[in-house]
Structure 1
Amino acid sequence: MWARERNTKKEVKDLAGRLQRLMREILMAKDDQPPERTEDKQGTATSDVPATKRMVSVSVQTDAGLGEDDEDPGTVKYEDIQKVNSFGEFMGLERKNWKEKIFKNTTIIGGSLLKANREEDIAYLLEKGGEKENENKGNEGIRKAIEERYPDLQDIEGDVSVLAVSTKVEDKEGFVKVRERHIYKVATTGEGEDWFHRLSQVRDKMVSHKRGRLSLYPPISDGNGARTRKMLECLLQGTNIKGTIYVKGMPRDKHGGTPPGNVVKRNRDTEAILVERGGNSYADLLRRVKDSVSVSSVAARGIKTIREGRNGQMVIVIDKSDREGREELQKQLADAKINANRRGRTKVFVIKDVDGDTSKEEVLNAVLKDTGLEPEDCTGGELRPYFGGNRAMTLRVEASKAKKLIEIGKIRIGLNQCPVTERIQVIQCFNCWRFGHTKVECKESGEKSNLCRNCAGEGHKGEECDRRPKCLSCNEAGHRTGSGRCTEFRKALNKARLSSKRKKAS
């Protein structure tokens, strides 16, 4: 029934052709009969008119574009897709012209597979071997994130394995519904016949389980997802399944299978000021800020919202364009002895080999002079001891303006050429204190954020502790949490360094 509906126009055209032939046969049969005579309105006889001259022209009007495609052997048609049952048949079709209107079951959008609707099934890849074996780790981040979200996936094996996950959801009326999602774990080289065969296995499993929507990302060998989309379009013919292919690095809109263009990044019109809690509760800190900043003042004019951050600090979101309001707000918070730092998306740098006679202000002035940055674009830490009697300083620079600092690599400060290196950032969770994910993404049920960061004990803070140090990250004694001596930190740091090198090389 589905196939007949998809070929309605073709059937109408065939029917019209048969009707034309039938009419022609009827009229030709009358050629053997005497010619008919016609009369005008007054009854006067007129010339004889052969019956064959009264043939009716029957035609069917269809979409001009579709008619042209039907005549063009180089353009893919619906019936071509329906005939594909093997990779060899797909290969014969792949090189033809695929117009966007031929794609009825698949869509390509930009973004991460992790953003897919929770009611959609997802398929993720374990890519092994293939011509681009050294590049197959490009999708590792997605795989790890999915397996962290659904740990049971790590225990199942097979070319195409499936895990069914049920979630109870309460609607607005208070009724509890069970929502089921299937996650397909696909082992593949991601190339040619193997990828086609794995996709067909996923389709068969979805049909048998009566599933309706599938989201996946293409293998490394099919960066823009165009080939995967064509394969999936062929395989989903005759089913009720719709497929969405997520491609990293392209806008989140429908795409016709051509290589993605440049992504337009949205410039933020807000920035944030972080207010540290110190020894206060968030409620006490909020009260102090409200007492310090008058609602009618210039300082309050650019405030968008105030909220609690992930790590317990206060986040004040302000209008980026209101420079006067920002400066006044920081001044009023400083007068009230509230520790506040401006924060946007920043990159962290370390400036080394600063001589012992140079002040922090001189270092910042040298940075501004060589990079063309404004004072509000960067924040410097205090100078600290470094090798050979020299010192080093940590510098935070707004990410969008850090390119110049990366390019120059060195800054003349006094008589020294001081190297500038970007610090490798290691993501750490402040719930379980492990590395590689944030507190929001943490799956640990236990709450460790209130434990002492010096001894890992309860009931007090690290600033007050004089017990023997014990690390919450590696669970080893002899150093406190956050120390560079932590073995788990060193592993995470080495991993981040390797990742940074790969990005620079690519």
Structure 2
Amino acid sequence: MGDKGDQTDSTGGNQPVKPGRLDIGTLDEKPRAHNRLNLLNTLQRCNSISDTNKKRKYMDTPPEDPYRKKESPEAFILTEAMKPVLKLATDVDVIIKDIPNTHLKIKEIAKKLKKSTSVFDRVSVKQWMENNKMEPVPKATYDVDIQTDIHIVTETTTRASNNRNELNTQTVPKTAAEISTQTDFDPDSQLPIFSLPKSCKYEDFERIKSLRWDINLFKNTRMVIGNPLEAEDNIPKVVLIEPKDKEMDLSIQRLFKEKYPDLNRATGDFETLEQITRIGDRTATTRKVFKVSHDGTLPEIWQKLERVRNETIECPRITMHHIVGIENDVLRKLIECIFMESTTAVDIYTTKPRMERPTFGMIVSKGNKTYKEVLEKVKGIVTNNEAAKAIRSVKSTKNGQLLLTVDKNEEALVNIKEALGKPEMGLRTLELGTGERYMTLHVRGMMLGTTKVDVIEALDEAADLSEIDRKVGDLRPMRNNTLTCTVNITTLKGEKLLTARSIKIGLVRCHMEKRVKVDRCPICWSYEHNRQQCRGVDRQKNCYKCVGDEHESKDCDKEEYCPLCEQAGHRIGTMKCPAFKSALNKAKKRKRV
């Protein structure tokens, strides 16, 4: 080895080495520290001055050549675990199809299982599995001339750069900021985000609120079904005042006011009520309630909840409740962004979702016939019908009519109703809960001279309808000398018609539109709340035309009057009514969202 003076070539020559280079043999004396120490030691020993052949071999090896790959144990375990799950989903589906009258809950579980396992059959997932089948192995690249700066490049880095757009044809997102800049984002087909922006601002929340979040991102919030007032007294509670309920007369706000009457005296937009109770020598109990008013917009709610966060820094947990008009998922994301750097946990209370009935119901009657006589008639009609397998129960109602309960099978219900509804049978059928099974369409743009028969023939031809599938209303005049009509139709056939958006009736192509349901309080007729929240005038027995209370609408000969607009000349619920038009526009906006 040379001294610290002029260095010479390690091959024994007298040529001086260029400044900045080290003698190759010095690698044995001062091995470089690295996390891949064993690999480097091997390289250093092979680069020894005493082993010329091996040194030349390593020099001639291209840096891009990887070392021998090993199968990833994690990928192997995942692949082997997926196979029986996929087979199980297929077997369950086959068994359910072979066994008649399978329990509805079993069918629902099998449907969810099939939907979940279908993810494994996606091309993007299979491609990802193939790309990660082998374990990443490090490889060394180095300067052949001096071999002093050895840089380890893992195969993971190379694979990530080459296959970045293979999964779902988009860059695999790492942060919320990256995902938020992508276009045409589909939450059902994309990977969730796994991190949130640091010191999240409202602008950041706006970009990521519609994205899918990994469940592990929700560290400070949780959804709870129940009443926030049932939480422990020492947990601070936040009551959010709705813009149209400043007096706290509705829903959960009314319960807060009843339990804490002092909230009536708190008139500001952000008020804090604190009560301290001490009984004898016991520890004092402190109850704290934050009364927060807002205008219903997300920026305003963000600003108010930021203040709540600052006021509850030392509280381990607080409670609040859902907000009308804001989805629970969006509200939870908003609160999570606000409290992400806080040590305070937030319980968001909400109501239990309504359960959907698992059956269809149908009432069957025949003039003055008794229940037993109608039952014998029904048995004779449906006994040999294949759809009879879907019948779950047959019993009488309180007034002696026959109630037929059928599994939620659209085809079976239609077949049974068609069989019972034939004119020669003389039976009258009334289907219960038809709101979900039937829909209303508006057909507009028919030319003058079009008849109801023309509409029926066009509908039957377009969607293969029978008499039981549709009910066509009378034709009414519209602007520009055109006609319109309303059609009640089964949901399945109606959705089929709506895919075309128009239908040929006579010489013209007419526009079809699904009616948007506008909810109305049955007590006071308001569009702003439901029955449970009503505090208005009871108009249930009033005339729907003039709002009088001495007669029914069919016997009314007075001028039309709308109690919501307080104007004469139109009745409630028509397009002449500004209140109805406003409620209809809001309902259409909610539907589009």
TM-score by length of 1: 0.49
**Larger CA Rg, structure 1 vs 2:** 2
TM-score by length of 2: 0.43
